[in-house]
Amino acid sequence: MTILTLNCGSSSVKYQLYDWNRREVMATGLVERVTQEGSRILHKTPGKEELEVSRECPNHREAIQLIMNTLTDPAHGAIKSMDQVKAVGHRVVHGGESFKKSVIVDDAVLQVFRDIQSLAPLHNPANIMGIEAARQVLPDVPHCAVMDTAWHQTMPAHAYTYALPYSWYREHGVRRYGFHGTSFLYTAKRAAVLLGKKPFETNLIIAHIGNGASICAIREGVSVDTSMGLTPLEGLVMGTRSGDIDPAIPFYMMNKAGISAGDLETTLNKKSGVLGITEQFVDRRDIEIAAGKGDEQAKLAMEVESYRIRKYVGAYAAAVGGVDAIVFTAGVGERGPIIRSRAMQGLGFMGIHLDEEKNALSRTKNAETEISTDDSPVRIFVIPTDEELVMTEDTYALVNGTYDVHTNFTYSFQDPAYINVERDAGVERDIRKTAGLERIVVSPRGTSG
């Protein structure tokens, strides 16, 4: 069975084609600058030359059509016809309180997404456009929605309720929802494997650090708190998003500088975070280089970002009540040793001891590594996330009637014998390039080496 997964952003579409029977990735790619001038597709089929083609995509339907044309291209594609695709999985950022697990999309489900799109104005409209476009182009196959918020539906009321008029929650749905759930689900299940424990016997703190960033407290295998809130703006310092601020600041700036509500929303979402502090950089690699050259604002941005992570780790250790492991994932989490190091500073009193040498070695998107000291009571893992695999498995199970909420469902990657063939080959390449990396790669039995 061939499954296509689509992750539609406001100006991009990320995709993966997966052969379920062989358990192999058939193709991956990204269409950039959708709805903008200069759009292009970056496509990779294993065993074939990578493809980069400029093609104007004024809307998401054109982008999805371009993806399908590329997937079936005789020279660069992976399949002969789109008739081989039997199901499509879609990432949806916000499912509100309506969905506790992934669902097959029908008109009623799509209408719920439309009704709550104001809860994620930067994400859900693009997700909806992608689903609508894909259903038009592939009308005869099932389409499934995998919500970032579903993972966090286990949070207790005291964790998701804001100290605001309760009628705001009752009438307008104002509460903490949390995001990055698909990533947290994958890394939580993998962490349990590495610890040699059952998923629902593990207490974890997982930091998903990328351009968007959030942190999740997991007690007995389920989410009990998370840093993002009603929208993906709350919590950690991000690439362009502010994270936690005094809620009076917007009113202060509206009065002091005459900034409109719309401009404030844009500033908090797109002009803040590390970009706001440095005034020029979003990519953490650029910030590290600038800081190394003495740029004081770049240094400050790194300190502010890592300090915010450290504070949340402390708070969530209290919320969980005894931590088995800290997990870093996503782009910066997987390949940012400086941020990881600074985030873990001073936590020895909690039994969290980072090994700086191991940490410096861990810069791979393929290997699951352990970067804590050998005698650290709390282990520290770096686990590359795989949201596409979760989407694929949810889609397959939905279509076959075997799917359920994650507390009643077992994923393939929960098996200690699970191997990601593509990443396994990548690990071997990384080990050849990085001396000592093999020492920190973690086996499924939970031991390094």
Point out the residues that are catalytic.
148
SS3 per-residue string spanning the chain: CEEEEEEECCCEEEEEEEECCCCEEEEEEEEECCCCCCCEEEEECCCCCCEEEECCCCCHHHHHHHHHHHHCCCCCCCCCCHHHEEEEEEEECCCCCCCCCCEECCHHHHHHHHHCHHHCCCCHHHHHHHHHHHHHHCCCCCEEEEECCHHHHHCCHHHHCCCCCHHHHHHHCCCCCCCCHHHHHHHHHHHHHHHCCCHHHCCEEEEEECCCEEEEEEECCEEEEECCCCCCCCCCCCCCCCCCCCCCHHHHHHHHHCCCHHHHHHHHHHCCHHHHHHCCCCCHHHHHHHHHCCCHHHHHHHHHHHHHHHHHHHHHHHHHCCCCEEEEEHHHHHHCHHHHHHHHCCCHHHCECECHHHHHHCCCCCCCEECECCCCCEEEEECCCCHHHHHHHHHHHHHHCCCCCHHHCCCHHHCCCCCCHHHHHHHHHHHHHCCCHHHCEECCCCCEC
